[in-house]
Copies of this chain bind each other. A is one copy, B any other.
Amino acid sequence: MRNMETSDAVPILAALAQPTRLNVFRVLVQAGPVGLPAGRIAELAGVPPSSLSFHLKELSHAGLAGSRQNGRFVIYTARFETMNGLLAYLTDNCCGGNPCTPVSSCDLQPVVKKTASRKEPA
Q: Which residues of A contact B (CB under 8 A)?
A: 6-7, 9-10, 13-14, 16-19, 22-23, 25-26, 29-34, 36-37, 40, 43, 70-71, 73, 75, 78, 80, 83-84, 86-88, 90-112, 116, 120-122
Contact = CB atoms under 8 A, between A and B. Distances in A.
Contact of A108 (B10, B26, B90, B103): B103
Contact of A92 (B19, B33, B104): B104
B25 A94 contact: yes
B100 A91 contact: no
A106 to B, nearest CB: 4
A17 to B, nearest CB: 4
Contacts of A78: 94, 96
